[in-house]
Amino acid sequence: MKLKELLTALGKKVNFDLTKPEFADILSSDIDIPDVMATAIEKGLMTEDAALNNSGIRSRLRAEVFNGFDREFENTLADFELEEDSRTSILGEKKTIDRMKKLSTVLKEKADKAAKDGNKADAAALRQQVTDLNNQIRDLKANQQTQIDQLKADNENNLIGFELKSILGTRKYALPEQMELSEQINMSHGFVSQDLANAGLKLVRENGKLRLLKQDGTEPYDDKNTPIQLNNFVDSSLSKRGLLKVSDPATGQPGNDAPPAVPGKQQLHSAYQDAMAQTDSMLAALQDQN
């Protein structure tokens, strides 16, 4: 697979805009990517919707939330002294919450029968069990939603980090040649992230592009009441630390030792190693939530 084809496919998957001029050089590269490598990257990068619709991920998420409770539920079900057909019917439900709902219905029926038979104490005890059970159902639903929300947030943060590192990969750094491109990008990412936090700013994805916002979601402005642009913020963060190459006064271009516009093989290898590392981090984050 050609590098351009892989980047285009990845860009579409995460709604990343590759039409910007700064990506023209790398997209014009005729470098071939081994199919096994391209497939691993493309399949490993998972969007939020794809993650939530992935049966394997959903199964692991359910296991995280419910497996321990399922075992406890089965162990304590005997305490309710249910008829065998009721017990079998309850355990026949695959979903934990459906099991609990069915048990609640059975207990309510037993409470009604006890009240009808004049066993007020038994009826009151059974109704209290129904109330407790319904409260547990409510708490389990809330816990499940919390797990899903965290999964979505982790996935979104990883995608934002991936795109920010893609932007950082287009800069020309005044760093030792011995440093791999991935090392330069990771170091720069740390500094930019630190400055974003110190400035009370955050990154969000909108319409396939990263956007800079204040923590309250409003547009950020500088001292001159000018909107703060992400690229300017990134360059300022890196420049104040001397990480970017200084332009040659005679040409206005980076010095003679600036890297070529199209990354060399070692740079490309490092960039893709970094991309795969980000993909692995994303998958690990997803699996941790399951």
Please tell me the predicted confidence (pLDDT) of residue 3. 72
Per-residue pLDDT of the chain (290 residues; tens, 9 = 90+): 777 777 777 777 666 667 777 677 777 777 776 776 666 666 666 665 666 556 666 566 555 555 556 666 777 777 777 888 888 888 888 877 888 899 999 999 999 999 999 999 999 999 999 999 899 889 888 887 887 788 778 878 888 888 898 889 889 999 998 888 888 999 999 999 999 999 999 999 887 788 999 999 999 999 999 999 999 999 999 999 999 987 644 444 444 333 333 333 344 444 444 544 544 454 444 444 33
| Cα gap 202→205, rounded to integer Å | 10
Please tell me the predicted confidence (pLDDT) of residue 32. 73
Please tell me the predicted confidence (pLDDT) of residue 227. 94
Q: Tokens 């720069």 — which residue?
A: 188
Please tell me the predicted confidence (pLDDT) of residue 289. 36
HSE toward the beta carbon, residue 49, CA cutoff 13 A: 3
| Cα gap 190→186, rounded to integer Å | 6
Predicted TM-score (pTM) of this structure:
0.54
